[in-house]
Structure 1
Amino acid sequence: MSPNTDKAQPSRRSEPIDVRTSKNGVKSYHFLVDVGLKADGTRDRRRFTYDTKTEARREYRRITTEVAEGRYVAPTKTTVGAHIKAWLDGRRDVRRVTVEGYRHALKPVVDRLGELPLQQLTKKHVDDLVTWRLTEGRGGKAPTNDAVTAVLAFVAAHPDGVRYAQVTEKFGEKAGRYLDRLRNSGMVVRPKRGIYALAPDTTAPRASQGVSARTVTTMLIQLSAALDDAMNQGLVTRNVARLVKRPDVADTEMQFWTREQSRAFREHVREHRLYALFLLSLCGLRRSEIMGLRWSRIGGNTLHIRRGRVAVGKDVEEDDPKSRRSRRSLPLPADVVKALGRLKIAQKAEALALGQQWTDERLLAVHEDGEEIRPEWYTDEFQRQAKAAGLPVIRLHDTRHTAATILIDSGASIIAVAKWLGHDPAVLARVYAHVRPEILEATGTALFGGDTEATGA
């Protein structure tokens, strides 16, 4: 007999799966696998248990293959909402006002998908959310209220009342519970048996209305960033938000005033107490820069931008400027220097009348009583004055577009204008600079240098 066959070979298990029998005779199958390292550097050894041996063998092969290829993701009970909250709370690399913007953009995700386990989030979940936002998602109401709101709208559409059978025919038998809920809340009344009508003091719900494609795209961008973080932490294997096609965002031309309109606004607000601040806006300063400007940062005809004040919910927060380029020193036009001098004298007189101490650390943007001006109030006042002047009511931020356009029309270089505005030159050329029709016409005429072709007789 061959040496290789005269000795029995030991048995070998293809997978290290053990069986356990409980007291009631039910069997379960489990195995142990090292899935990686823990935070302290020790091996992360986990037990996996299944009801059948076939399932255990299948999962053993899948898990060990994923571990070997670096694709394994351990099960977690973390929900979509919990992960988004943790991601936002950890964003210490951006300003608080920016984080609040992210939080607002992701609110519909948290409202509708927040309770869903993160590892169960699919492309379809996100696709359905995008469709809902584009068609009826304005206001971000929770999905549990959708059916009740629809019933209320149906009742409101029948001023003389609607029969119970009509409601259940349209919304199903559950509509009866919705009607009871609306009656208990006082929004619907039952003038007679089987008839329902809108309560006299109830406002009919607004028709479904979607949000803009730009708003939805912003939501998807932030959701993608949050899911990228989940991938980096090993919580999910892929970013399903990146599989969703973003809606097409139409290019919109930014609004701006012409040089003549800017001059008309200056004339209208010349006697306004905040004339100097309006001039700074027309010079292209950001609202946050004007709101955060203190008298100590103005020396002679030079203004030094070093801080900004922004609204964060009900709070107003002072912080560093928006970017490194935003920190700049600007030599101001004589008209602005003169207006600032008038405002300084007025503020000193107001402080004296109120018995307040005035120092150079006082903000420029304060009311007569010394209270700091909220950024949104300043925007509202600017637009009130624009309307009173009979001018197109543009956004306050559009004064930066106005300043950029006037400066470039005057022959200033893109580099110089970008430095003045505290902006990136490439972005300035793409977004902020606007060409008026008459300038474009003159440009076309210049192509042939004014030459005219001779025509034959």
Structure 2
Amino acid sequence: MSADPQAKRTRRAEPITKHVAQNGAVSYQFRVDVGTRPDGSRERQRFTYPTLAEARREYRRITTEVAAGTFVRRDKTTVAAYLAEWLDGRRDVRPVTLAGYRHALKPVIDNLGAIPLQHLRTAELDALVTLRMAGAPVAQRDKRGRRSGEVLAWLRARPDGASYGELFAEFGNAGEKAITRLMAAGEVVRPARGRYAAARPADPERPKVAGGVSARTVVTMLVVLSSALDDALAQGLVARNVARLVKRPKITAAEMATWTPEQAARFRAHVAGDRLAACWLLTLAGLRRSEVLGLRWTDVDHDAGTISIAQGRVVVGGGTVTGAPKSTRSARTLPMPSDVLGALRAFRTRQAEEHLALGGGWPDTGLVAVNADGSPIRPETYSKAFALHCAAAGVPVIRLHDVRHTAATMLLDGGTTPSATAKWLGHDPAITLRVYGHVYDDALASAGDALLGRSRSVGDTQL
């Protein structure tokens, strides 16, 4: 028989090399260009596996992901280290917002911070959510696997480490695979050629996390964490955002508390003789607490009859910080009624008298909301004084921010357009309708009468 004229095609060999250690251990290695360094040079990584089949499988997966731009380089950065760096880099948010981010992520850092970021799993976040909601830890399978856990415990019992021969004699081929996984996770180090030791004598103790928190608090934690992991995904540090896979608890929407117009008028009459009457009128006008406490006398224009919202004072980390308003829409100029301007003028006169009585010890802050000694009023103090006035006036003790809801509701119920109401409040019109669109019982009754073709002023006469 004549030979086949076309030579048989040989399969292109994959660049996997066999390595035999001095102790006889066999492993399979390959190198792959995984990207480019900042200086423009190639970044090559070596990968080692105990069997040829596993090396081939991983070589194909890694090269495919590198070509597609989805390969995630191995990185030992922990959850705590990454989140701390992410928080420090958030220069695009206000200090009070950043403080809220730190508070929301604290349970994650405290409970899961020692885990390498690339090893964070949905099951661990699920357990943290359950812990936060119920206040009790959830038993879960060791993420290392049974054999890896046994190998790690065996090494921890040997402070000087163990040789490969000792490890192989104790666990066989399964121990060799477990060592590979533990070294990739940073749990095991190689202090010398052919010797292995545990990286830590024991797992770090995770501090207790307070439980019994609301669903809204848990959802806030997951939302902020998801934002941080989105950035990690964009940087190529993780393959997916595991926080987006966690089922979030349902938030029960609660109706916001508001005053009726009669209750608002009763409170207004009660505080008419108070030293801070002008500030309470501004609060009744729908200004935020931060806006009232950040208002300066230079922002009050008596000639034009307006006040300008140009800054706010908020609580951050136990202190107060003065900065820009909450949003771009929050910076606005509002025409004030004559009684509000009159109260501001009287308060300015009273402060001048207090300044004269105190002498040179009066601090020149330029703020409207100051104490009798000229020091700025702390936000917490303002809220506590408001609660005391509510009780004294005989009106429901609502949150200070709920007075803003009351103002919005009164504006909308009085016929003010949503766009004008939103501009007054410094909000987006859609948000104004969704958040502040409360109506009173009388308005609801009138709406029902209108649908039935009736008028409450006429009676039950059908149109």
Deviations 1:38-77 (A, max 9, x none): 2333322111123333332222122112212222111111
Q: Check whether the contact 1:291–1:308 (CA below 8 A) recurs between aligned residues.
A: yes
Rounded Cα–Cα distance in structure 1 between residues aligned with 2:34 and 2:71: 7
Counterpart for residue 397 of structure 1: 401
| Secondary structure of 2:329 counterpart | helix
Q: Check whether the contact 1:34–1:46 (CA below 8 A) recurs between aligned residues.
A: yes
Question: How far is 1:315 from its partner?
Answer: 2.2
Counterpart for residue 159 of structure 2: none
1:81 and 2:83 aligned: no
Distance 1:376-1:395 versus aligned 2 partners, 3 A rule:
same
Q: Check whether the contact 1:296–1:361 (CA below 8 A) recurs between aligned residues.
A: no
Deviations 1:323-376 (A, max 9, x none): 111111111111111111111111111112222387986101211111111112
Deviations 1:104-145 (A, max 9, x none): 1111111111111111111111111111111117xxx9x9xx
1:287 maps to which of 261, 265, 289: 289
Counterpart for residue 254 of structure 2: 252
Counterpart for residue 51 of structure 2: 52
Rounded Cα–Cα distance in structure 1 between residues aligned with 2:131 and 2:275: 47
1:235 maps to which of 234, 237, 241: 237
Q: Check whether the contact 2:95–2:316 (CA below 8 A) recurs between aligned residues.
A: yes
1:325 maps to which of 312, 329, 332: 329
Q: Check whether the contact 1:321–1:327 (CA below 8 A) recurs between aligned residues.
A: yes
Q: Check whether the contact 2:365–2:376 (CA below 8 A) recurs between aligned residues.
A: no
Deviates more, 1:428-437 or 1:32-41: 32-41
Counterpart for residue 432 of structure 1: 436
Question: How far is 1:12 from its partner?
Answer: 6.5
Distance 1:44-1:209 versus aligned 2 partners, 3 A rule:
closer
Taking structure 2 as the reference length, the TM-score comes to 0.78
Counterpart for residue 445 of structure 2: 441
Question: How far is 1:4 from its partner?
Answer: 4.6
Counterpart for residue 66 of structure 2: 67
1:302 maps to which of 299, 306, 313: 306
1:354 and 2:353 aligned: no
Distance 1:363-1:66 versus aligned 2 partners, 3 A rule:
same
Q: Check whether the contact 2:362–2:374 (CA below 8 A) recurs between aligned residues.
A: no
Question: How far is 1:322 from its partner?
Answer: 0.8
Question: How far is 1:215 from its partner?
Answer: 1.2
Counterpart for residue 225 of structure 1: 227
- Counting only pairs closer than 5 Å after superposition, residues 261-272 of structure 1 correspond to structure 2 as 261-272=263-274
Q: Check whether the contact 1:302–1:330 (CA below 8 A) recurs between aligned residues.
A: yes
Q: Check whether the contact 1:295–1:361 (CA below 8 A) recurs between aligned residues.
A: no
2:257 is aligned with what amino acid? Q
Identity of aligned residues (%): 55
Question: How far is 1:304 from its partner?
Answer: 0.8
| Secondary structure of 2:360 counterpart | coil
| Secondary structure of 2:334 counterpart | strand
Rounded Cα–Cα distance in structure 1 between residues aligned with 2:423 and 2:413: 16
Question: How far is 1:452 from its partner?
Answer: 4.1
Rounded Cα–Cα distance in structure 1 between residues aligned with 2:261 and 2:461: 32
| Aligned CA-pair RMSD | 2.5
Distance 1:358-1:420 versus aligned 2 partners, 3 A rule:
farther
Question: How far is 1:428 from its partner?
Answer: 0.5
Rounded Cα–Cα distance in structure 2 between residues aligned with 1:360 and 1:341: 18
Q: Check whether the contact 2:83–2:228 (CA below 8 A) recurs between aligned residues.
A: yes
Taking structure 1 as the reference length, the TM-score comes to 0.79
Unaligned regions of 5+ residues in structure 1, if any? 144-207
Rounded Cα–Cα distance in structure 2 between residues aligned with 1:360 and 1:376: 22
- Counting only pairs closer than 5 Å after superposition, residues 180-199 of structure 1 correspond to structure 2 as none
Counterpart for residue 349 of structure 2: 345
1:117 is aligned with what amino acid? P
Counterpart for residue 410 of structure 1: 414
Q: Check whether the contact 2:131–2:211 (CA below 8 A) recurs between aligned residues.
A: no
Distance 1:209-1:71 versus aligned 2 partners, 3 A rule:
closer
Distance 1:209-1:388 versus aligned 2 partners, 3 A rule:
farther
Rounded Cα–Cα distance in structure 2 between residues aligned with 1:107 and 1:66: 34
- Counting only pairs closer than 5 Å after superposition, residues 156-167 of structure 1 correspond to structure 2 as none
Unaligned regions of 5+ residues in structure 2, if any? 140-209
Rounded Cα–Cα distance in structure 1 between residues aligned with 2:231 and 2:103: 19
Rounded Cα–Cα distance in structure 1 between residues aligned with 2:57 and 2:3: 37
| Secondary structure of 2:273 counterpart | coil
Counterpart for residue 194 of structure 2: none
Q: Check whether the contact 1:126–1:241 (CA below 8 A) recurs between aligned residues.
A: yes
Deviations 1:147-166 (A, max 9, x none): xxxxxxxxxxxxxxxxxxxx
Counterpart for residue 193 of structure 1: none
2:71 is aligned with what amino acid? Y
- Counting only pairs closer than 5 Å after superposition, residues 37-186 of structure 1 correspond to structure 2 as 37-136=36-135
1:386 maps to which of 368, 390, 406: 390
2:262 is aligned with what amino acid? E
Q: Check whether the contact 1:134–1:210 (CA below 8 A) recurs between aligned residues.
A: yes
